[in-house]
Chains A and B, each alone.
Chain A
Amino acid sequence: MDVLFTVPRQLLFHVGRYVLMMRSVFGRPEKWGMYWKEIMRQMDDIGIGSIVIVALISVFMGAVAAIQFLYQLDGQLIPKYYIGYIVRDLAIIESAPTITCLVLAGKVGSNMAAEIGGMRQKEHIDAMEIMGVNTAGYLMMPKLVAAMVVIPMLVVISAFVAIFGGFLASVPTGELTQPEYIRGIRSFFLPNNVNMMFVKSLVFAYILTTVSCYQGYFVKGGSIELGEASTRAVVISNILILLADYIIAVILTG
């Protein structure tokens, strides 16, 4: 019976604390120059630091999608060039924004939670607070801005690489000719799908950054708790990203 009250109470507590934290995050910076420097550093960390992993995952996502659909459509009356069309739309609408952000939640999100949590444990955050720094703002706002600028770029790269991955899996293997694949990726193009991709990547970037920072910022205890906070950051981000994915799909395709 207790659980019935404890869980909603805990949920309300975290939502309330998150909202209050976000108010501080968007507070006026003490010094724009310092925030700018930090935004640049974070862009480098999140963007450049994630390009290789994003590209690797995306090439395989595209390749697997092509192989799977070749297998499914084999012997059917559907023209083969549809493979290019399917790989393109799958990449743009779903795999590039969603899978990339799920992977980034693991790579970047856990890193953010561990970095901020470590600073909390080593009293760095207290030291900044006592200096008069808005710590929620200084530690999170640059990460959030950097993520919301860089992650959509990574998603675009992911989409292109996934389409190229589909090409690699189907053209050199002789399953499709190059003109067929090119025809496929140029067919039935809906610009709105690209808008959906950007909306998704912005929302997911916001979720993975703020959830991870929240977990790190309020960490208590020692290294075990820090590890748990880092894991929670990834798990909660992933669940919320998938939930948001569903909601955006319902809204933007309705």
Chain B
Amino acid sequence: MIRTENIFKSFDETEVLKDINITFESGKTNLIIGRSGAGKTVLLKILVGLFKPTSGTVWYDDVAFTQLDKKELRQVRMDVGMLFQGSALFDSLTVEENIRFPLDMFTNMTAAEKKNRVNEVLERVNLEGSNKKYPSETSGGMQKRVGIARAIVLNPKYLFCDEPNSGLDPKTALLIDELIQDLTYENNITTVINTHDMNSVMGIGDNIALLYLGKLVWKGNKDEVLESDNDLLQGFIFASPFLQKLRDKALNR
């Protein structure tokens, strides 16, 4: 479980996050949603320790993550996996080498054990046989899956995904969502996803937090979205007339 406690973040005079208190449960897909500029990415970067909050604390279970020194932070990060918006795969390494990188860096596994583990995760993300390809030889969806494989290769307790569906077609986006959700349930991972993809919200949103201008304005789950009378949520999720019609139909309005 990850918990934020009174998180504030400012850049110079601009206050980007204001008093954020959210709990991200383990074994669930926790979504942070909001319009561009709402502070989602800043919050995610604070959660993984790339930014320090101006004030407030991030708790990883019982560990005050934001108060750790560099060495302790690195130790906790062994339990963290992250999928980046652009996948952040190392261009000069093959798919296999990319996934093996954390194993090479942090484990004492033999070459054969590493190969087995890489094949295992590649199979899990349905990319068997892609070991020798370079990232530039793979599609956007495949790169996301390689990114997921690299993120889970060390069996993390916490998984962060920054816009996992950006740049993907709806079908591939769905597959990525399902994959993340399955991995979360199978391994009881605390998964935090930063997204503004409505299909993700309605498909895998076990816990949803809506940010608006740096403030947390709504918390709930995918089943509560339709019924909510929060104008900001409704205006965000059902922004297009087409989706509004679908919602009205679903609610028999």
Contact = CB atoms under 8 A, between A and B. Distances in A.
Contact of A123 (B49, B78, B88): B88
Q: At the interface, is chain B mostly helix, strand, loop or mixed? A: mixed
Contact of A124 (B75, B90, B102): B90
Given A123-B84, A126-B84, A131 B90 contact: no
Contacts of B160: 130
A247 B74 CA distance: 40
Contacts of B101: 131
A134 interface: yes
Interface in B66-99: 70, 74-75, 77-78, 80-82, 84-86, 88, 90-91
B84 A129 contact: no
Interface residues of A, number: 16
B105 A30 contact: yes
Contact of A131 (B75, B85, B105): B105
Contact of A132 (B74, B85, B86): B74
Contact of A126 (B81, B88, B105): B88
A123 B104 CA distance: 20
Contact of B50 (A31, A122, A130): A130
A123 B90 CA distance: 10
A129 B88 CA distance: 12
A139 to B, nearest CB: 12
A194 B88 CA distance: 46
Nearest to A24: B70
Contact of B102 (A123, A131, A134): A131
B11 interface: no
A133 interface: yes
Given A130-B77, A131-B77, A30 B106 contact: yes
Contacts of B90: 124
A122 B88 contact: yes
Given A132-B75, A132-B77, A132-B78, A122 B86 contact: yes
Contacts of B86: 122-123
A239 interface: no
Contacts of A129: 49-50, 77
9 tightest A-B CB contacts, nearest first: A132-B77, A127-B88, A123-B88, A132-B74, A130-B82, A123-B84, A132-B78, A131-B102, A130-B48
Interface of A: 24, 30-31, 33-34, 122-124, 126-127, 129-134
30 contacts: A30-B105, A31-B105, A33-B104, A34-B104, A34-B105, A122-B88, A123-B85, A123-B86, A123-B88, A124-B88, A126-B50, A126-B84, A127-B82, A127-B84, A129-B49, A130-B48, A130-B50, A130-B160, A131-B77, A131-B80, A131-B101, A131-B102, A131-B105, A131-B106, A132-B74, A132-B75, A132-B80, A132-B106, A133-B105, A134-B74
